[in-house]
Amino acid sequence: MDYRARLIGCAGDASDPTVLAFAGVLSAAFERQGIAALPIYGLDARRTRRLFQRWFPGADLALQLTWSEASPMAPADSRHEETADLVALFMEHADPLAGSAGDATCVSYTLAQASLGEQHLWQDLHLPSRKELSLLISRWYPRLAARNTQDMKWKKFFYKQLCEREEIFVCRSPTCGECSDYQVCFGPE
């Protein structure tokens, strides 16, 4: 089943970067784990149901999801502290004009989950390009986006922010695996 196509088919605005990011993370989770587990770590069945109702009306029926039987998703590599730190960073900078607190929470957990991925953040969100990621971040977290004055890659920027909050100057890098752009991201700014 093409989960992403079904989600996008139910979306109100299939060009909205928020919709595209949700669809990317949700469909990737369904492909990895099937539909028996909640797709975004940190979101319970109630919040997941609201996410679907708000952004993908009718998709839960189209995908035959059974929320009452769904089990929580485990964080990637048991990195739940890292996820919590990222969500806290995002929520601290969430713009109430962008959407409801519930929507901001869903976006924050989605971004945090994708930040644990092996590729560029826009790729882990399954967005068409970095441009859509920048639009997403500027919409939901404009104060945080404004702090990225050097146009640093977003994943690296988020981790740098976490380290600065903790006054750690030797900072853990995001998970970048064997990326061909490693020198571009971690070269001189």
Give domain limits for the chain.
3-143
d(CA 2, CA 159): 33
Give the pLDDT of residue 189.
44
In the block, which residue shows the tokens 């920027």? 157
Q: Which helix (H) or strand (E) holds 143?
A: helix 142-146
Identify the residue whose tokens are 């998709």: 59
The pTM for the full model equals 0.85
- Distance, in Å, from the CA atom of 150 to the CA atom of 178, rounded to the nearest integer, reads 24
Per-residue pLDDT of the chain (189 residues; tens, 9 = 90+): 899 999 999 998 999 999 999 999 999 999 988 887 889 989 988 899 999 999 999 998 888 887 665 666 655 556 678 899 999 999 999 999 999 999 999 999 999 999 998 899 999 999 999 999 999 999 999 999 999 999 899 999 999 999 888 766 555 555 555 555 555 555 554
Beta bridge partners of 92: none
Q: Distance between CA atoms of 69 and 53, rounded to whole angstroms?
A: 18
